[in-house]
């Protein structure tokens, strides 16, 4: 996993609440057995006007010009901002893989669905919540200013607006450290292996049916 420290990036707005993972990456693309290549199909049903198929060359497909991802002013965006409950629905990590493959490293919303939020940290994507008012303000500023960028600093837990003002965000320490250092969480977990074996030995006494194969 790539570490995340700071990012100065262009911001693309998706002005919707309850953006679900089916919308982020529709089901037909989940048939892949790989982690990469989902970027061209990010928000497929909103982005194109035809029905997308797996393994299709998307470069010639008819696009929905109204959708923000298709607007030239948002080309190359690395930060995505949306409304409440972003990433709800299916647990598909493909949603995060699609965002990452497209180039998104930061997602900002007033709130996130738990599984999506969790999946982001496994892939070097930083999701954080700002208040609904702060998010609303950024939406309005994007609307008024072409080339709108934000500077995100994970260690300092704040985001700097073009005006120089900062907004702070909360993040759990363990997730923050893993992301800052790009740590392999499985290797970290395996440091607890002896404790896990002790636990298993105890549970086999208390609840042997859990270990009957």
Among 57, 72, 172, 201, binds other proteins (CB under 8 A): 172
Stretch that binds other proteins, among 61-69, 141-149, 157-165, 190-198 (CB under 8 A): 190-198
| Distance between CA atoms of residues 167 and 89, nearest Å | 28
Question: For 49, how many CA atoms within 13 A lie in the half-sphere containing its CB?
Answer: 8
Output DSSP code: residue 64: -
Among 133, 144, 164, 173, binds other proteins (CB under 8 A): 173
3-state secondary structure of 109: strand
**26 is a site residue for other proteins (CB under 8 A):** yes
Residues 87-116 binding other proteins (CB under 8 A) are 88-94, 96, 111-115
Output DSSP code: residue 48: B
Stretch that binds other proteins, among 2-10, 28-36, 142-150, 162-170 (CB under 8 A): 28-36
Count of residues touching other proteins (by CB under 8 A): 65
**185 is a site residue for other proteins (CB under 8 A):** yes
Q: Which of 189, 198, 180, 169 is nearest to 1 (CA)?
A: 180
Q: Which of 54, 47, 120, 64 is nearest to 87 (CA)?
A: 120
| Distance between CA atoms of residues 113 and 62, nearest Å | 31
**Nearest distance from C-beta of residue 57 to other proteins, angstroms:** 16
**119 is a site residue for other proteins (CB under 8 A):** yes
**209 is a site residue for other proteins (CB under 8 A):** yes
Residues 130-169 binding other proteins (CB under 8 A) are none
Which residue has tokens 């199909």? Answer: 41
Question: For 101, how many CA atoms within 13 A lie in the half-sphere containing its CB?
Answer: 18
Among 147, 174, 180, 204, binds other proteins (CB under 8 A): 174
What is the pairing mode between strands 106-109 and 126-129? parallel
Can you give the binding site for other proteins, defined by CB under 8 A? Answer: 15-18, 20, 22-23, 26-28, 30-35, 45, 51, 54-55, 83-85, 88-94, 96, 111-115, 118-119, 122-123, 172-174, 177, 184-186, 188-190, 192-193, 195-196, 199-200, 203, 206-213
């Amino acid at each position: 996993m790539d570490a995340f420290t700071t990012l100065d990036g262009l911001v693309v707005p998706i002005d919707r609440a309850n953006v679900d993972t089916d919308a982020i990456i529709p089901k037909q693309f989940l048939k892949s057995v790989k982690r990469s290549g989902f970027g061209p199909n990010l928000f497929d049903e909103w982005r194109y006007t035809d029905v997308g198929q797996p393994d299709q060359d998307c470069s010639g497909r008819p696009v929905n010009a109204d959708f923000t991802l298709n607007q030239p002013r948002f080309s190359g965006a690395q930060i995505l901002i949306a409304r409440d409950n972003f990433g709800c629905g299916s647990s598909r990590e493909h949603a995060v893989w699609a965002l990452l493959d497209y180039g998104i490293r930061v997602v900002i919303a007033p709130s996130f669905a738990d599984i999506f939020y969790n999946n982001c940290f496994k892939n070097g994507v930083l999701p954080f919540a700002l208040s609904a008012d702060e998010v609303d303000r950024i939406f309005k500023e994007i609307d008024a200013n072409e080339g709108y960028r934000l500077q995100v600093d994970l260690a300092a837990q704040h985001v700097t607006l073009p005006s120089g003002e900062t907004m702070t965000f909360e993040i759990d320490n363990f997730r923050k450290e893993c992301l800052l250092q790009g740590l392999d969480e499985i290797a970290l977990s395996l440091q607890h292996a002896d404790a896990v074996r002790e636990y298993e030995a105890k549970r086999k006494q208390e609840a042997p049916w859990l270990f009957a194969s």
